[in-house]
Structure 1
Amino acid sequence: MTDRYQGFVASPVGKFLVKNLGLPSPVRLERYREGAPLVDGTVLVGGTGRLVDQLPDVLDSLGIATALRRDDDATYKGLVLDATGLTDASELHALRDFFTPVLRSLDTCPHVVVLGTPPEATGSIAERVAQRALEGFTRSLGKEIGRGGTVQLVYVAPGAEQSVDSTLAFFLSPKSAYVSGQVVRVGSTGATQAEPVADLARPLAGKVALVTGASRGIGEQIARVLHRDGATVVGVDVPQAANELVALVKELDGDHIALDITAADAPQRIAHHLREKHGGVDVVVHNAGITRDKKLANMKEDRWDSVLAVNLTAPERITAELLQQGVVNPNGRIVGVASIAGIAGNVGQTNYAASKAGVIGFVDALAPTLADGITVNAVAPGFIITQMTAAVPFATREVGQRLNAMAQGGLPVDVAETIAWYASPGSTAVNGNVVRVCGQMMLGA
């Protein structure tokens, strides 16, 4: 699917109307291309704190060029500020001092990361205040930066300083093209040390990934991106979608299970298949989901029950079975697909929003209980352009696409890339997070 408005504003007439009427002018986002460098340009590094001395070496190991001093004649593709050294509010001027002189020197589609200390892990009230202030700063800068840029805050827990590689690789690269204004915690829950990644281009080589709802849309792109990263993909979908599912996994040299995930024996059948055919599973992506929209006053019982069963109860049951039987391998990954609707709500979607908020609760509850380096995280997509959203009425669709900092809808690959970051063996210290893939929606998120 294409964004016709984005094509229109690039035309001579569109440019004239945008300039004179103040219409949204979305920048065509740069997305990652297989084989391309993570960052096509230079990243400026600054700040004071626990990470600044190691950052040049970390970025160099990722193939990212860095600069430690600002050059008035240079342009930058990314900025990283270590703000872990800020211990009281009076030191917050360091944010203005670093960013203000360089913001006009940013290239198109730049990526900005601020590193902080989790407020709950600080040593004083004053330090906690300063570190919490970073959230308002980064979210506001995300709405100011323009030109297709993104801004993120990464809280790095003490002891997790050596586990930021995969997160910096994701947030500084075009893989995070439609992710902005997010707050991520590294090392706050569970393990603080990440497993080394032998091959940055194929971090999932030798791994097995289960993807539900894999036959089309977002699920198909998740399967494709995990395969690109080296995983053997086991796709799951309902028997009615078996033809599409089989064609996909054949193309990806993967495997498939055709079943209804809400069936009473579905968890046991999935666990048996993964154990017997693959010796276990390394990545579990609960992507399958449905909508049955109606205002609550008109909501029939079957509409309510079916949405909760597919979107929430099935992931709970499948995960519990896989963990209980020990089918999830050490350093495994469990990923849920939530939604902005579960955070902000949506008219006519009380059932859907409840199910997706439940996915967030699932992550919150499960994350502290996991062992052996297993993690659980979630993505919360906003308006993603798919065949399903193409059926939304034009006016509603336009509002959904424009009401974010990037003034455009996302693509299924944006969700898939975020899941691939979670799935990386290098993301062991990334646990218990919910990241919105929404272009930084202006309301409710």
Structure 2
Amino acid sequence: MRRVLLLMFLGLAHGAYKLQEQFRWKALDYAYPTEEARRQAIMNGRFIPENNLPVGIEIWNNKLFVTVPRWMAGIPSTLNYIPLYEGVPESPPLIPYPSFEANEVANCENGFTTAYRLKADECDRLRVLDTGTFGIGNTTTNPCPYAINVFDLHTDTRIRRYELRKEDTNANTFIANIAIDIGKSCEDTFAYMSDELGYGLIAYSWEQNKSWRFAHSFFMPDPLKGDFNIGGLNFQWGEEGIFGMSLTRIQQDGYRLMHFSPLASDREFQVSTRILRDSTKVESSYHDFTPLKERGPLAHTTSRVMDDSGVQFFNLIDRNGVGCWNSDKPYSPENLAMVDRDDLALSFPADVKIDREKNVWVISDKMPNFLIDKLNYNEINFRIFFAPMEVLIKDTVCEIKPVQELNVLNPFDYQLYSKKRFYY
């Protein structure tokens, strides 16, 4: 049995480790068609195992998607998946999606170069934001432009590619995160992308097939919050602006609220999607953005997601844990809780997602050690966990009221999965 910890985060929350490990890797590997093809890839430098770091995840039916950014040479595929069936090993090779060919570097028109975060929607479409970049920091080059790739998940075919306009980016742009807002129908869909280093927010309308960019001082980092201590390392990410985003269920006015924060910040902000959906508001929306309270110390976050019941989950990278907030309550420290924490296994919980069966998924990857120091490939470095949402929030301030009391507004109904997965 796992040991029980007393967890302190702003308010009090206590309990055993709740997130259950599903996959683990010392180093990533890929599903090459033959062992000879794998050996050739290693020999010619197309696959360098120690240069591969998983960052983003998404779940759709029996696919668990995993992204691997091309920060260095030797990453054979940036977008991949793991099949969620009985018999999958605990350290499975990643399967390129939709193919190795679509993941070639600089395959601008027909594939993608580097993906970080991705999002599957209720209409069974997968949106992959290709940054078009190779390298990291001062070594970064842009062999391809920023582009949104949209796949039909039933057929694994790309149904649209949209390049961001020149006006959507600037010289400092780095966009890694994407959120999806579905309104009255599948056509009434918007994607929102956070420009972390260019301090902007780009909105894209599926129906209009066009994009526009918002600028706001709330997208900028807090100069007092740029110091980090993670994985035994002290470093500064002082330039990191708007990053994590989540969307509420539809409100009484027919729109959602977007919650976001800069990475170098402990404060939450919000804005109505009524503003973001309106391209005429890009120059006149300053007062439509609202600051909320700070989360408290050691509360940097890069990823957040909100279930349609109104519970937000977010990573806490300083604390190697995952937090929660029930949006039926005011955003304040006493209404936040830590749902799980593990200084070893959850070292840098990079991404958090919720699937349609209301399971929370988390990937941890020791990213600061990978970027600043080095990893020990004789030990486990990357892990993926899951837990039912209700298990994580039980006996915390995030626990949900009975369904009949919630008055949840859904844009439309969709079927939940019919198959039980192997981890049940």
TM-score category, normalised to shorter length: under 0.3
Larger strand fraction of residues: 2
What TM-score does the superposition give when structure 2 sets the normalisation length? 0.28
Larger helix fraction of residues: 1
What TM-score does the superposition give when structure 1 sets the normalisation length? 0.27
Larger gyration radius, structure 1 or structure 2: 1
